[in-house]
Amino acid sequence: MMLAAKFGHEHVVLYLYDHHDDEPMRRSAIAYSVMNEAAKAHHDEIVRAMWLQTNFQSSDLLRRAKAAGHVDFIKWLRQDTVREQANATNMTIIDISNVHVDQATAAP
């Protein structure tokens, strides 16, 4: 999957991910690694597809990302193309623009 992500083969990445039978935490770790590899190679479409595929829409994750200063990354993920894909798959995009983050409980 990492090589497919590196070279921009979105359909291969998604096929392999869909057919990878593993526990949810392991699948999340794999998805994160794939997103990292794709991002390094500037394959934005793969990063967005994996984000949607893994359903990383939890408010806790978004709060932690915001607390860690990754607001630009979150805004990028929430662009119109992501919103359209999410609507097509009945996923919910969480608006975090007004989320208050308690620095004492936020992840480093």
Read off the pLDDT of residues 21-77 as tens digits, 9 standing for 90 and up. 677 777 778 888 888 888 888 888 888 788 777 755 556 666 666 677 766 666 666
Task: Looking at the structure, tell me whether residues 63 and 108 fall in a common domain.
Answer: yes
Domain of 16 in residue numbering reads as: 1-56
49 plus 20 within the same structural domain: yes
- Calculate the dihedral angle through the C-alpha atoms of 26, 49, 83, 41, rounding to the nearest 10 degrees: 110
Give, in order, the Cα–Cα distances in Å from 56 to each of 3, 15, 25, 41, 62: 22, 19, 12, 21, 8
Same domain, 12 and 47: yes
- Among 38, 56, 74, identify where a domain stops: 56
Judgement on whether residues 63 and 52 belong to the same structural domain of the protein: no
Same domain, 75 and 39: no
Q: How many CA atoms lie within 13 A of 100 on its CB side?
A: 2
Q: What is the pLDDT of residues 89-106, one digit of tens each?
A: 555 545 545 544 444 444
* 89 lies in the same domain as 104: yes
Same domain, 69 and 95: yes
Question: Taking the model in full, what pTM does it have?
Answer: 0.50
